[in-house]
Amino acid sequence: MSMIFKRRIPTSEEIMEQIPIPEHIKAIKETRDRDIRNVFENKDDRFVLIIGPCSADNEDSVCEYIGKLAKVQEQVKDSILIVPRIYTNKPRTTGEGYKGMAHQPDPTKTPDLFEGIKAIRKMHIRALSEFHMPAADEMLYPENYIYLSDLLGYIAIGARSVENQGHRLAVSGVDVPTGMKNPTSGDLTVMLNSIIAAQQSHTFTYSGWEVETTGNKLTHAILRGAVDSNGRNIPNYHYEDLIRAATEYEKLQLCNTAMIVDVNHANSMKCYYEQPRIAKEVLSSRNYDPLLKKMIKGLMIESYLIEGKQDVNENIYGKSITDGCIGWDTTERLIYGIAEKL
């Protein structure tokens, strides 16, 4: 067998006992969770912004960024609900490069999953305790979700994971809104089938147990653009793309037909600075068409303290070490601009 079993990773129960969520924060999170759910259940017409760094690579800079978001949230609270991105597991197309804080709590050092799991929980708790905003994270590894299950307000399933049976089944047992991205091929059928599967109940093995789920009725779509067979990015945020997706989605007659539009990745053609322009176009289409107004619940935006991206060893505080992000000044203007257009 070509695996070396280095050490046992603590169970979620052991980690939660070591690093508990403060009692007074639980009630705050329940209230905020209800607000987020209400948007996806059509009980609240506020617009959701899932916004933050491509990867959460440093606790201090991430929390400084979320502190800035919290101040803006207070100013736009009547029209916008902000969910900060704290993405601690990062997919890598070739398997190379930084895989997130869960793997490397210090990006400049060797992987340490034992310390990484503790580090991501501490960071999520700090952000929630200081700023009262349950965050979004990507469920790259379904077995890692349980270490954060009492902290997250939103979950995303990535374009490379959305067709995976394990992810679909795990999401069926989650009780917060979960977005399924279209795959990198852009095939909407894959995304829609994933939503259908996750909204149903299932019985399967998970984390050493036979489990039964009730289905996650808040599972919904995320449009992130596609990549063709020649490696070219193909956006799917234009009006015609949105109408096509919304129409096919509505035909399924599911209990939830919400959509989020990711304005980076293939939609921005990997040009992070195009995100504000794309956001404005999506809002224009949403305001124009009643079906899009009903279905498009928000945007996913990649943003950090400093614009752009850097190599891991550059050590520029608050600048992405994965995909490029818009900087804080642009982010602040964008959020206020979105609020004016809603």
CATH assignment of the domain containing 40 = 3.20.20.70
Residue 3, in any domain of the structure: no
- The Cβ of residue 66 has, within 10 Å, a number of other Cβ atoms equal to 25
pLDDT at position 256 is: 82
- Supply the DSSP symbol for 22: P
The pLDDT tens digits of the residues spanning 236-257 come to 999 999 999 999 999 999 988 9
Residue 146, in any domain of the structure: yes
Q: Number of folded domains in the chain? A: 1
Residue 2, in any domain of the structure: no
pLDDT at position 282 is: 98
Residue 62, in any domain of the structure: yes
Residue 178, in any domain of the structure: yes
Residue 36, in any domain of the structure: yes
Give residue 104's domain range.
12-341
For the stretch 91-95, contacts whose Cβ atoms lie closer than 8 Å and that sit 24 or more positions apart, written own/partner, are: 91/138, 91/140, 91/158, 91/160, 91/161, 93/160
CB 237 within 8 A of CB 263: yes
Bridge partners (DSSP) of residue 220 are 179
pLDDT at position 272 is: 97
In sign, the C-alpha dihedral spanning 186, 187, 189, 195 is negative
Residues of the chain falling short of pLDDT 50: none
**CA 173 to CA 169: how far, in whole Å?**
7
Residue 53, in any domain of the structure: yes
pLDDT at position 288 is: 98
CB 201 within 8 A of CB 212: yes
Residue 6, in any domain of the structure: no
Alpha helices in the chain (DSSP H): 12-18, 23-40, 59-76, 113-131, 142-145, 165-171, 188-198, 239-251, 275-288, 290-295, 328-341
**CA 64 to CA 107: how far, in whole Å?**
18
pLDDT at position 29 is: 95
- Residue 261: its H or E element: strand 259-262
pLDDT at position 222 is: 98
In sign, the C-alpha dihedral spanning 156, 115, 55, 100 is negative
- Nearest Cα to 177, choosing from 124, 144, 219, 149? 219
